[in-house]
Structure 1
Amino acid sequence: MPGTKLDHKNVQGGKAWGQIKGKQEQALDDINLEVVQNGDYKDVEDLDEKLETYKGKFIEYDLDGSGDLDVTDVSYMMEKLGQPKNVLEKKKIIAEIDLDGSGTVSYREFLKMMLGNKSSIMKIILMFEEKNKEKERPSGPPPKRDLSSLP
């Protein structure tokens, strides 16, 4: 299992962490460009926007900056999305997506899951994440109305 690239003994690791995340973002941009140029998902509408969204989600959930989602990262993701799972369920979710048998989900495997036809638990949860968010309620007093605005 890939580990963190960050030196935990260095208490001033903010700059190093930013550099790791910057390199990771660049690597994922390269993969996104390759996916677009490959043409495997040319039928997907708004492919560029979706790839950018998936990249952001992947970076957000990759807590240790390893470039792969492991059980800890999937735990964080499921808890944040309001879908807590036990360890066996998380390992099962990872095994469903993991194509190379590494025990983790790489960005390429993540994209294949999200853009492919195969339905998985993680894909369904991520797709409905936005729909589960509470809509913004208006604040302050209601606007004044007059008789002409009534139906």
Structure 2
Amino acid sequence: MDFADKQGGKRYGKLRKEQEDALDEVNKDFLEGDAYSDVEDLEERLQEYKAKFMEYDLDNSGDIDIMELKQMMEKLGQAKTHLELKKMIAEIDTDGSNTINYTEFLNMMLGKKNSILKIILMFEEKNKEKAKPTGLPPKKSLTDLP
């Protein structure tokens, strides 16, 4: 690894940390606000959504653009056309940036309105395999039988 690679890695780590701090601030605003105060386990859900957003914001820009959304959909096994991706962004984008920022992402995930992206992400979460028990099964006797 040469000097440029080390500097690039440090720069990436710094961007990642700055993004995480910025997203934490948005989470704090959501926790202090009244808009989603009725949402169950809000703090826990915000942390999950932050991790998911950071996973898909590949360049740590704070926005998910059309190429990042394309890669997200492919990773989820839901490849979409360019037009479908543009429509997905338009459903969520409230500031006209043609990207999905974290606040828009949270409003989509926590809000009552369903969008295609929200439905895909919700089904993806439900389809994750549940943790299987490990170790030996509990011992049973004839008295345990119904």
TMscore range, shorter length: 0.7 to 0.9
Is 1:70–2:82 an aligned residue pair?
Answer: no
Q: 1:11 aligns with which of 5, 8, 28?
A: 5
Pairing 1:131–2:126 present: yes
- Does the alignment pair 1:111 with 2:106? yes
Distance 2:31 2:24 in 1: 11
Taking the aligned partners of 2:29 and 2:133, their CA distance within structure 1 comes to 43
Q: Aligned letter for 1:69?
A: I
Q: 1:60 aligns with which of 55, 58, 62?
A: 55
Q: How far has the Cα of 1:134 moved from its partner?
A: 3.0
Shift of 1:62: 0.2
Q: Name structure 2 gaps, 5 residues minimum.
A: none
The superposition leaves residues 107-139 of structure 1 with CA deviations (integer Å, 9 ceiling, x where unpaired) of 111111111111001111111212212345567
State the Cα deviation string for residues 82-118 of structure 1 (Å, max 9, x = none).
Answer: 2111111111100110011111001111111111111
> How many angstroms apart in 1 are the aligned matches of 2:57 and 2:41?
24
Which one-letter code corresponds to 1:98 in the other structure?
D
TM-score (norm. length: structure 1): 0.83
Question: For residues 115 and 125 of structure 1, what CA distance do their matches in structure 2 show?
Answer: 14
> Which moved further from structure 2: 138-147 or 99-108?
138-147
Change (3 A) 1:141 1:115: closer
**Aligned counterpart, 1:4:** none
Matches within 5 A, 1:16-35: 16-35=11-30
Matching residue's letter, 1:74: L
Report what 1:37 is aligned to. 32
Residues 141 and 42 of structure 1, relative CA distance in 2, 3 Å threshold: closer
1:30 CA displacement:
0.5
Q: State percent identity of aligned pairs.
A: 59
List runs of 5+ in structure 1 lacking aligned partners.
1-9
Name the one with the larger helix percent: 2
Write the letter of the residue equivalent to 1:99: T
CA drift of 1:75 comes to 1.1
Deviations 1:5-55 (A, max 9, x none): xxxxx4331121111100100000001101111221111111101111111
Q: In the TM superposition, what is the alpha-carbon distance from 1:140 to its structure 2 partner?
A: 8.6
Higher normalized contact order (CA 8 Å, seq sep 6+, divided by chain length): 1
Distance across 1 between alignment mates of 2:134 and 2:112: 42
User: Normalising to structure 2: TM-score of the pair?
Assistant: 0.86
